[in-house]
Amino acid sequence: MVFKTKNRNRYLYSPTENKIIAIHPVLYDIINFKNRGIDIKDQFKKLNGDKIKIKDYGYVSSSEIEYYYQKYLLFKENNYFKKEEVDKFINGRLTPEKIESSLHNNKDIVFEVTDACNLKCKYCAYSEYYHNYDKRDNKKLSIKKALRLIDYLVNIWNLDTNQSQNTEIRIGFYGGEPLLNVPLIKEIVQYTKKINLFYNYFTYGITTNGVLLDKHMDFLVKNKFTILISLDGNEKNNAFRVFPDGKSSYGTVYKNILLFKKKFPGYFEKNVSFISIVHRLNTVENIYNYFKTNFNNAFKFSEVDPTGIKESKKEEFLKIYKRIENSLKGSKKRLEIEKEMTSGTPRGDLLVNFLNSFVGCTFVDYNDLTDLNKNKNYFPTGTCIPFNRKIFLSVSGKIYPCERIGNEYALGYVTEKEVVIDFKNAADKYNHYFDKLSNQCRSCINVRGCPICMLKMGINTNDFKCPYFRDKKHLKKLFSNIMTYLEENPDLYSKIMEEVFLE
Ligand code: SF4
Ligand code: SF4
């Protein structure tokens, strides 16, 4: 496929080679004509040796045509124009062994230390809008179950087969509000500090609403936690984040953040970051301005989860829901924000995904790097192989591939005595989901670099249709837009390349 950008530069995309190459206008026309069944040399002969005019370039002679024709033949001989055999590579099957190996290479455990929370945020994933979570009744995670899972994983990490030496193992604490169960966090920290890991070391992180930060900041700093605070901007923009009595949480959280900053200024800047949900009470620009004015810390945007909404609450839910893309559309600072946030904005994510999927010189992880023949065994959708990114232990002892998916996707459980993961069942489940989607994926623009997690889009429902499907006829336009954007912002390419790295 050949395409042009708005700046009239020409490119060739080869699906078999998965490469995008800048090409000369003459070569572009040769390929373009060929695609329409016309041989440019025949055309030339018909003109009795007169020069042919190539758009945006000028007149070319027969020798120039011949020169680029040879290049065309070279590409052709090397299969650059061969049709993509999507059917061959979209039929990847997950095996129990693949999932087990993914668990063996997992370096990220997240514990839901409690389902209790001291806030009652309007859009919370455990609020009245959703049906896909286990009952929340102020439970606390059993320490025995947490330690059982740690022991199970330590045995794996200390095997000779551990391929990631000298890398961190991240232990994350999540809730509810995790600072409501600090005794358990302390026990896990103390326990893991005593463990003799042969090849790795532990680090700690927490996601908090910040209400109790004043009481626990010393402990967090002493143990070098990275801290992610949820805050949606100023008081007005943050107004969905309220206490159970409906009062704003902003004043309490802001005061705690300032206290932290004053007490541990260097640590605060380096290890504290923010996550902001975009909704009807704020805009991406509000949030951006707020953090730029008030703090020097990293921050990212997220959306209210639109999956798992009760039928009866759909209308009401739409009154709080806003997509980041829609919020950015009206912003004068759109370009500035998108250039700065290489991930977390739709265009930033699209660009990272594009570079990962179509440029052929970046690797998402080791599986990606070592899978030399990328046209084989490709899985539909962008869902991670279970445990490739994380292992999440819920407050009730269920095991999930991460904390962001509904309760129907548990893949195992932990009791005080054992860890049970049915790898075969997990593989069967995923393959069943893939089967539901693979036909749609085959004719979708995103087939190579789909950014969508199927577990986050209701794959469990009957007659499921992917809401993100885009017909392949849009591919040219998409490539043209992205390459135009990169041409106009050349610094973005190196920024993404520097920020996307392999551990
Ligand atoms: S959201 Fe989906 S793709 Fe992302 S970590 Fe969770 S399970 Fe994996
Ligand atoms: S966007 Fe949907 S249809 Fe397209 S590849 Fe991804 S999961 Fe498949």
pLDDT at 142 over 80: yes
Three-class SS state of 78: coil
CA atoms within 13 A on the CB side of 384: 17
Task: Give the strand pairing for 168-174 and 201-208.
Answer: parallel
141 Cβ closer than 6 Å to some ligand 1 atom:
no
Q: Which of 178, 228, 171, 172 is nearest to 202 (CA)?
A: 171
Overall residue count recorded for the chain in this entry: 503
The atom number, within ligand 2, closest to the CA of 445 reads: 4
Task: Give the strand pairing for 226-230 and 272-278.
Answer: parallel
- Domain-located, residue 38: yes
The mean pLDDT of 120-124, rounded to a whole number, is: 93
- Domain-located, residue 8: yes
Specify burial of residue 85 (Cβ count, 10 A radius: 0-12, 13-18, 19+): exposed
Among 33-42, 266-275, 489-498, which range has the highest average pLDDT? Answer: 266-275
The atom number, within ligand 1, closest to the CA of 400 reads: 7
- Domain-located, residue 129: no
405 Cβ closer than 6 Å to some ligand 1 atom:
yes
Q: Distance from the CA of 376 to the center of ligand 2, in angstroms?
A: 18
Task: Give the DSSP letter of residue 325.
Answer: H
Q: Distance from the CA of 271 to the center of ligand 1, in angstroms?
A: 24
pLDDT at 503 over 50: no
477 within 8 A of 471, measured Cβ to Cβ: no
- Domain-located, residue 239: no
406 Cβ closer than 6 Å to some ligand 1 atom:
no
383 Cβ closer than 6 Å to some ligand 1 atom:
yes
Three-class SS state of 133: coil
Q: Whose CA is nearest to atom 2 of ligand 1?
A: 453
- Domain-located, residue 348: no
- CA–CA separation, 454 vs 460, rounded Å? 9
**Percent share of the chain, pLDDT over 90:** 59
Q: pTM of the full predicted structure?
A: 0.85
391 Cβ closer than 6 Å to some ligand 1 atom:
no
Q: Distance from the CA of 341 to the center of ligand 1, in angstroms?
A: 21
From residue 455, how far is each of 90, 96, 465, 496 by CA, in Å? 18, 19, 13, 27
Neighbours of 2 (CB within 10 A): 20
The atom number, within ligand 2, closest to the CA of 437 reads: 8
Domain count, the chain: 1
399 Cβ closer than 6 Å to some ligand 2 atom:
no
From residue 74, how far is each of 22, 27, 39, 80, 427 by CA, in Å? 15, 12, 16, 9, 43
More confident residue, 280 or 38: 280
Q: Distance from the CA of 106 to the center of ligand 1, in angstroms?
A: 13
- Domain-located, residue 55: yes
- CA–CA separation, 412 vs 398, rounded Å? 6
Q: With bands split at pLDDT 50, 70 and 90, how would you rate the model's confidence at 14?
A: confident
Stretch among 52-66, 254-268, 348-362, 458-472 having the lowest mean pLDDT: 348-362
Among 27-31, 230-234, 326-330, which range has the highest average pLDDT? Answer: 230-234
Which residue of 107, 404, 437 sits with most ligand 1 atoms within 8 Å of its CB, as the best mutation to test the pocket? 404
- CA–CA separation, 101 vs 362, rounded Å? 22
109 within 8 A of 153, measured Cβ to Cβ: yes
Query: Rg of the chain's alpha carbons, rounded to an integer?
Result: 26
pLDDT at 76 over 80: yes
Which residue of 437, 438, 464 sits with most ligand 2 atoms within 8 Å of its CB, as the best mutation to test the pocket? 437
Neighbours of 40 (CB within 10 A): 21
More confident residue, 289 or 45: 289
Q: Which of 488, 497, 351 is nearest to 5 (CA)?
A: 488
Which helix (H) or strand (E) segment holds residue 10: the answer is strand 10-14
pLDDT at 219 over 50: yes
Task: Write out pLDDT tens, residues 367-406.
Answer: 565 554 554 557 888 899 999 999 999 999 999 999 999 8
Among 88-97, 230-239, 398-407, 456-465, which range has the highest average pLDDT? Answer: 230-239
Which residue of 468, 470, 475 sits with most ligand 2 atoms within 8 Å of its CB, as the best mutation to test the pocket? 468
- Write down the pLDDT at residue 348: 85
Q: Distance from the CA of 433 to the center of ligand 1, in angstroms?
A: 14
456 Cβ closer than 6 Å to some ligand 1 atom:
yes
Task: Write out pLDDT tens, residues 347-366.
Answer: 888 888 888 777 766 665 55
- CA–CA separation, 20 vs 236, rounded Å? 46
Task: Give the strand pairing for 398-400 and 2-4.
Answer: unpaired
455 Cβ closer than 6 Å to some ligand 2 atom:
no
401 Cβ closer than 6 Å to some ligand 1 atom:
yes
More confident residue, 323 or 344: 323
More confident residue, 214 or 460: 214
Task: Write out pLDDT tens, residues 267-303.
Answer: 999 999 999 999 999 999 999 999 999 999 999 999 9
**Euclidean distance between the first and final Cα of the chain, in Å?**
34
Q: Distance from the CA of 501 to the center of ligand 2, in angstroms?
A: 25
- Write down the pLDDT at residue 361: 64
User: Which domain does 59 fall in, by range?
Assistant: 2-83
469 Cβ closer than 6 Å to some ligand 2 atom:
yes
Q: Which ligand is nearest to the CA of 402?
A: 1
- Write down the pLDDT at residue 502: 47
Give residue 328's Cα distance to chain centre: 19
Enter the tokens of residue 27.
Answer: 């070569």
320 within 8 A of 145, measured Cβ to Cβ: no
- Write down the pLDDT at residue 497: 77
- Domain-located, residue 14: yes
Specify burial of residue 459 (Cβ count, 10 A radius: 0-12, 13-18, 19+): buried
Q: Distance from the CA of 400 to the center of ligand 1, in angstroms?
A: 10
- Domain-located, residue 54: yes
